[in-house]
Structure 1
Amino acid sequence: MTVAAEILQAPIFEHAKVRAGTSFLAQNYIEWISVMELPVENFVRENEFVLTTGIGCHGDYVLLEQFVRDVIDSGASMLGIATGRFIFTIPDSILTLANEHEFIIVEIPWEVRFGDAIQAVLHVINHQKRSEREESERIRRQFINIVLQTTDVQAICELLHDHTSLSPIIIDNKETVRAHIKSNPPVLSVNDLPLAESESPISDHPLYPYIESYNYQDTVYSTIQIEASHRKLGYIWFPHPSSTLSWFHLTILEHALTACALFFVQEDAVETAEIRLKDTFLLELARGIVTEDSTLSSKAQKLGYDLNLTYLCIVGDIHLRKKVGDFPSFKQDSPTTSSLQNVNYYIQREVANAAQFLSKRVMVTFDEGEVIIYLETDHHLLAESANQFLDTVDRRLNELLTEVGLNWGIAAKRDSFKQSYVEAKAALDIGLRSSVERTFYKDTRIKRLLLTMLDKPEVFDVMEDTIQPLLDYDAKRQTDLVHTFMMYNKHNGNVSQTARELHLHRQSLLYRLRNIESLTQLSLVDADDVFLLELCIRLSMLKNGVDHD
């Protein structure tokens, strides 16, 4: 912006005399020039250079003083009074008034034509604006070069400080301080700080209305949001300046905002690309698409992974919490309050936090409602490591995602990452069948064997012929002969122990056992018959998703 001193250096004002406000020549800005006579009303705006002949005062100095007061109140910066025709001298009272209000009064010879004066002033203002535009464009290129050539937002902060004398603090959308000028920047958040008393807009710069001020520990801070495509990326904070920010300084601040937005967008793009590379790598590792060799280990190291450690594999299924035994797939029935992307974010964050808490390395990725985790462990502490890790993860996720549940399958890594994934996935599938939240592959041998038998039609027919009478009887009479047999078999045919556990009288239990023999045409003292009945019951329970362990 152009200051009054630069205006008065124009040749046309060579014989003009500054009568008041000499000490403010380098402080008062001039943005426009106009000719004004009585009345002033609202025809004068801020930072204006007003010219007058005083013709409307008719030699009345009281009226002239009121005119000067009205011009001062309008926010103008300087008044030029042409003397020699209607006003011959400027009274001391008017000069005193001007000095008290930091206002400049210039006495202009009558011979100076106002048209020439306006042309000269506009030339100076336009020249200054053109210089500012050129300087602004040069600084804009500096900001862009910083984004293109460095990976440090601190350089943007320092350049903004160099050109505006502000002490900015750049904060990302996680409210982490990324750059600052002061050695100990305060922790600032628009959510926690009270708004400072609002001020009337004193600049018509398009950026000005978006600047808000907040009180923090007896200091007023101004802030403006960094955004791109209507997405919040962070904030620039700075102590509220004692004087109004000039148009030029606001333009520099605008350039800094653009540079910060580009920096954070570029950073997000790099981070997103890295996440995709990691996801692709881990999925290929789990599916056995890549060969485990020294080349793969080198690629893993570039992504921050160490494949030489001992890992266990954990596969999780993301689903809605519904009634017990009902675990729908997340991808078929998404929760209303959490998108799959948000759920993945929370899970990944808590997985990382749990691993950090246990001082373990972890690799994690997602694939359509399934989370795949490789957790560093010791061979002899597989179950302990997995349970400790999952206890920490589940505790936090149960608080954060109340509508979302997780089932886990766990397997040790033996020959390959693919094998451990296949085994963990198999354990998960078995756990889902039985509504078990956490299943270890090593504990699923019987169930895996039973599952292979269920695929054979002849086995299925034998199962139904054997136990269907029991199931029909239990459904019709509201009894539980199946459970009675399983408890009897668990106690190796000991009637007394079984009766105690079932809270039954001995004779009542014997009656039930005779009923079982009658309905199935099997003898409970014949080992083969007992084996057949137990096998059929286990197959039926596994088929219907009932846990019998």
Structure 2
Amino acid sequence: MQFTIRDLLSIPLFSTAKLLSANNIISSQVIESVTVMEIPVEDFIKKNELVLTTAIGCGNNPDLFLTYVKDVHSSNAAGMAIAVGGHVQYIPEEVIEYCKSVNFPLIELPWEMRFSDILKVILEQLNSWEQQSIDKADTLQRELLKLYLDNYPLEEVLTFLSKEFQMEVELKYKEQIENDTIQQISETSYTDQPAIIRYDNGKFLQIVPISPLLDQSSSFLIFKSRKLNAKPISALILNNIVTILTLWIQKEMASMISKNKEKKEYIKTLLNGSWTKKEDFINQGEKFGFEVDLPYICIVGSPEKLKEFYIVHKKEHIHEMEKDFKRTFSEILENVSKKLNKHLIYTFKRDLTIIFLECKSSEADREVNHFLDMIDSYVKKNQLPTISWGIGENHTGNLMFHLGYKNARTALEIGRNHKGPGTRNTFASTGIYRLLISLSNNSMSTELMHSTIGAIAAYDKNNGLDLINTLSTYIYHQGNVSQTARALSLHRQSLLYRLRKIEALTNRSLNDPDDIFLLQLCLKLWSVRFENNDSYAVAE
């Protein structure tokens, strides 16, 4: 433990001293050194240093007195003890009120107390406390090393520390700590040094940063006081604890990395359907927390313009962008699955997020859309890039993960091409496009398409009439000339001229249902074949 303001005031020499402020924090307000200081303060005060002063020069100037105390407080001093009765006859009320408002210990000393006596007593106490800390750190180090060599799990080590210090002890990663706590840490201490966060009820948190290992984020060892008069643990003891705990963290990280590799290989098997024995596959999944014999639907998502998004947010390294996105999106998925009480299997593959959502066969569509509605709301709340979604077929209960994944990817790619980015498409809704793509790769279909639409495309290129769009609009409006003319902003006679030109170029009648069907089919094949071109490809 450490020497505090409360310990100081319990020394017989200080029996006539008066504490004027911050009574609720004196048990946790650490004193690491002591100095005698008069104005000006400048940068002569160390952190957690007790300042003894006669306040000479401040007696007749309350404003100067207050400025002096503020300077001492802003230097992160442990407290301030002012000798009254010599140079100052009393401490101004505004000084006392200020110290109360910022929870800064202010002590009134009688003039008769010699600073030399105070210095001697405090230095003796500090030396005694320091030696106790050294002895305690050495004993703890030996005990923790024994636990490590005996292969005790980290949870039991934290329990041991909790009993040893009569405090709650936790190990948390940065992402697991509330933002306001992180902000308090940065305000009260350097990020690589232990910090104390005090509460109005006299309790406190003592937070010790642990440097990140390998590719992991920062972690913190957190001690929570249980009793009102609990004392903080010395930095020496804390640093020794962290040094030994790092051994456990390294071991757990090595185990976690190995398990993650196995997990990735399992999901790879799940995606390509290369498993052999059903029972072994199910049992192996349980080792990773997956219940693969439940009914699932595959959903594949692709964030739009991820690189550009993170460059705007000052993250220019692709690796950091992907890592940041995956971490945030994993948290979103975990939160949503907990709220819905649904099993979830997910992974990331290049720029894709692959999700298998537990669904009931009868309510699959509703459950998937509800799930994606929640995901999209979190995406918007976290200001992440818009995501395009593809939803696979309902292969529930058949261990057909590889087919679900294939279907979902197809739905994503075709849906995104035809309906644009940021849309949500099912495998079933892309049926017509899959048929057209298949037909467009058939030489007979390609020849028919060129012979039917090619002449119109060539005429458009040479004359700029846009006959293909005219024909598409006319068919869309089911041959209604008036509606088509309005949609194209054309005069009726101009439209009729274009329609006659289309009939002449294609040698097809727009009054014949079979010819209309053929023209519509060829238009769709044309759009699928050349949709990514800047201009129409014209047959020779």
Decide which of 261, 268, 289 is 2:246's aligned counterpart. 261
TM-score, normalising length: structure 1: 0.61
1:417 aligned residue: 401
1:400 aligned residue: 382
One-letter amino acid matched to 1:393: I
Q: Is the 8 A contact 2:390 2:424 kept in 1?
A: yes
The whole-number CA distance in structure 2 between the counterparts of 1:315 and 1:187 is: 31
Alpha-carbon shift at residue 520 of structure 1 (Å): 2.6
Secondary structure of 2:211's counterpart equals strand
The whole-number CA distance in structure 2 between the counterparts of 1:282 and 1:243 is: 49
Alpha-carbon shift at residue 507 of structure 1 (Å): 3.8
- Which is greater in Rg? 1
Shift in alpha-carbon separation, 1:471–1:259, aligned structure 2, 3 A: farther
Q: Does the alignment pair 1:530 with 2:513?
A: no
Alpha-carbon shift at residue 450 of structure 1 (Å): 1.6
2:335 aligned residue: 353
The whole-number CA distance in structure 2 between the counterparts of 1:187 and 1:321 is: 25
Alpha-carbon shift at residue 350 of structure 1 (Å): 2.1
Q: Is the 8 A contact 2:336 2:375 kept in 1?
A: yes
Within 5 Å, give how 1:144-159 maps onto structure 2: 144-147=145-148, 149-153=151-155, 155-156=157-158, 158-159=160-161
Secondary structure of 1:340's counterpart equals helix
Alpha-carbon shift at residue 468 of structure 1 (Å): 3.1
The whole-number CA distance in structure 2 between the counterparts of 1:351 and 1:296 is: 24
The whole-number CA distance in structure 2 between the counterparts of 1:315 and 1:190 is: 34
2:346 aligned residue: 364
The whole-number CA distance in structure 1 between the counterparts of 2:222 and 2:307 is: 45
Alpha-carbon shift at residue 373 of structure 1 (Å): 1.4
Shift in alpha-carbon separation, 1:158–1:175, aligned structure 2, 3 A: farther
2:118 aligned residue: 101
1:192 aligned residue: 184
Q: Is the 8 A contact 1:523 1:530 kept in 2?
A: yes
Alpha-carbon shift at residue 363 of structure 1 (Å): 1.0
The whole-number CA distance in structure 2 between the counterparts of 1:394 and 1:245 is: 45
Alpha-carbon shift at residue 384 of structure 1 (Å): 2.3
Within 5 Å, give how 1:310-459 maps onto structure 2: 310-320=295-305, 339-400=321-382, 402-403=384-385, 405-413=387-395, 415=398, 416-436=400-420, 437-459=423-445
One-letter amino acid matched to 2:446: F
The whole-number CA distance in structure 2 between the counterparts of 1:210 and 1:257 is: 12
Q: How many residues align?
A: 403
Alpha-carbon shift at residue 364 of structure 1 (Å): 0.7
Secondary structure of 1:408's counterpart equals strand
One-letter amino acid matched to 1:495: V
Shift in alpha-carbon separation, 1:424–1:150, aligned structure 2, 3 A: same
Secondary structure of 2:181's counterpart equals coil
The whole-number CA distance in structure 2 between the counterparts of 1:286 and 1:505 is: 56
Decide which of 176, 200, 205 is 1:217's aligned counterpart. 200
Secondary structure of 1:307's counterpart equals coil
Shift in alpha-carbon separation, 1:470–1:136, aligned structure 2, 3 A: same
TM-score, normalising length: structure 2: 0.62
Shift in alpha-carbon separation, 1:504–1:194, aligned structure 2, 3 A: same
One-letter amino acid matched to 1:290: W
Shift in alpha-carbon separation, 1:339–1:505, aligned structure 2, 3 A: same
One-letter amino acid matched to 1:424: A
- Identical counterparts, % of pairs: 25
Shift in alpha-carbon separation, 1:299–1:484, aligned structure 2, 3 A: same
The whole-number CA distance in structure 2 between the counterparts of 1:261 and 1:152 is: 10
RMSD over aligned Cα atoms: 4.5
The whole-number CA distance in structure 1 between the counterparts of 2:483 and 2:115 is: 108
Within 5 Å, give how 1:429-508 maps onto structure 2: 429-436=413-420, 437-474=423-460, 479-499=465-485, 506-508=492-494
Q: Is the 8 A contact 1:233 1:261 kept in 2?
A: no
Structure 2 gaps, min length 5: 2-11, 14-112, 122-126, 309-315, 534-540
The whole-number CA distance in structure 2 between the counterparts of 1:223 and 1:504 is: 74
Alpha-carbon shift at residue 506 of structure 1 (Å): 4.2
The whole-number CA distance in structure 2 between the counterparts of 1:279 and 1:98 is: 68
Higher helix residue share: 2
The whole-number CA distance in structure 1 between the counterparts of 2:194 and 2:465 is: 74
The whole-number CA distance in structure 2 between the counterparts of 1:425 and 1:210 is: 48
Shift in alpha-carbon separation, 1:434–1:285, aligned structure 2, 3 A: same
Alpha-carbon shift at residue 361 of structure 1 (Å): 1.6
Shift in alpha-carbon separation, 1:243–1:262, aligned structure 2, 3 A: same
One-letter amino acid matched to 2:339: F
Q: Is the 8 A contact 1:435 1:545 kept in 2?
A: no
The whole-number CA distance in structure 2 between the counterparts of 1:513 and 1:284 is: 56
Structure 1 gaps, min length 5: 2-19, 22-95, 105-124, 178-185, 199-206, 324-333
The whole-number CA distance in structure 2 between the counterparts of 1:498 and 1:287 is: 48
Secondary structure of 1:299's counterpart equals helix
1:286 aligned residue: 271
Moved more, 481-490 or 298-307: 481-490
The whole-number CA distance in structure 1 between the counterparts of 2:482 and 2:144 is: 86
In the TM superposition, what whole-angstrom CA distance separates every residue of 1:273-292 from its partner, at most 9, and x where no partner exists?
44433332222112011136
Secondary structure of 2:393's counterpart equals strand
Secondary structure of 1:411's counterpart equals coil
